[in-house]
């Protein structure tokens, strides 16, 4: 399929996209994930309320280290996806407040970035998720990604607001009771 953009934008495989870059906005930086972040993040993420809408349960340091070690590889062996993960950190005092992530894959010739966000309970309600998600989505759109999507529980007001904030709108598609948002 012919897509707008320079010739080199056609048929870019997900693995060929740039890895996660450091990004910065007014109040936060997005720091590309490293395995060593596990020690800092495990106590902050040790909170079952963070899993109300996304399932699963908190991971201990070892589990988080293993997860991060898999994630920082950046791509599965067959190169069908690009995994991008960032820690969200406040600029004023360096405090980590959460993380954002994106999985980019080629679907019928389109590069689709599925995005997600988590902000620790003590830092919620300050607009950090909106700021971090916007920063990530804007960067993805500069990286030849054709479409940003998110899968969100319809009852999750905060996440719905974040999705709208980054220019996504809900679709009729549901996967595991989550609505697909795209934009």
Least separation in angstroms between CB 80 and ligand COA = 22
> SS3 for 49?
helix
CB of 120 to ligand COA, least distance (A): 7
Buried b (16+ CB within 10 A) or exposed e, 29-45: bbbbbeeebbebbbebb
Would you say 3 or 51 has its CB closer to ligand COA?
A: 51
CA proximity to 183, closest of 122, 140, 127: 140
Q: How crowded is residue 173: how many other Cβ atoms within 10 Å of its Cβ?
A: 12
Question: CB 109 → ligand COA: shortest distance, Å?
Answer: 26
Q: Which is nearer to ligand COA, 141 or 164 (CB)?
A: 164
Through-space distance between the first and last CA atoms of the chain, rounded to whole angstroms: 20
Decide whether 105 or 123 has the Cβ nearer to ligand COA: 123
Cβ distance to ligand COA smaller for residue 81 or 102 = 102
Residues that bind ligand COA (CB under 6 A): 50, 53-54, 116-119, 124-130, 150, 152, 156-159, 161-162
Least separation in angstroms between residue 10's CB and ligand COA is: 30
């Amino acid at each position: 399929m012919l897509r707008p953009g320079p010739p080199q934008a056609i048929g870019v495989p997900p693995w060929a996209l740039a890895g996660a870059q450091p990004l910065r906005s007014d109040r936060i930086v997005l720091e590309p994930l490293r395995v060593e972040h596990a020690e800092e993040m495990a106590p902050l993420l040790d909170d079952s309320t963070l899993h109300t809408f996304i399932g699963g349960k908190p991971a201990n340091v070892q589990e988080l280290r293993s997860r991060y070690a898999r994630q920082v590889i950046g791509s599965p062996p067959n190169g069908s996806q690009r995994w991008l993960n960032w820690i969200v950190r406040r600029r004023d005092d360096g405090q980590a407040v959460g993380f954002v992530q994106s999985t980019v894959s080629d679907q019928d010739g389109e590069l689709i970035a599925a995005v997600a966000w988590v902000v620790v309970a003590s830092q919620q309600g300050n607009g950090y998720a909106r700021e971090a998600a916007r920063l990530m989505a804007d960067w993805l759109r500069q990286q030849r990604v054709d479409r940003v999507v998110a899968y969100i529980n319809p009852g999750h007001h905060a996440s719905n607001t974040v999705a709208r904030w980054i220019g996504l709108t809900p679709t009729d598609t549901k996967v595991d009771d989550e609505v697909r948002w795209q934009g």
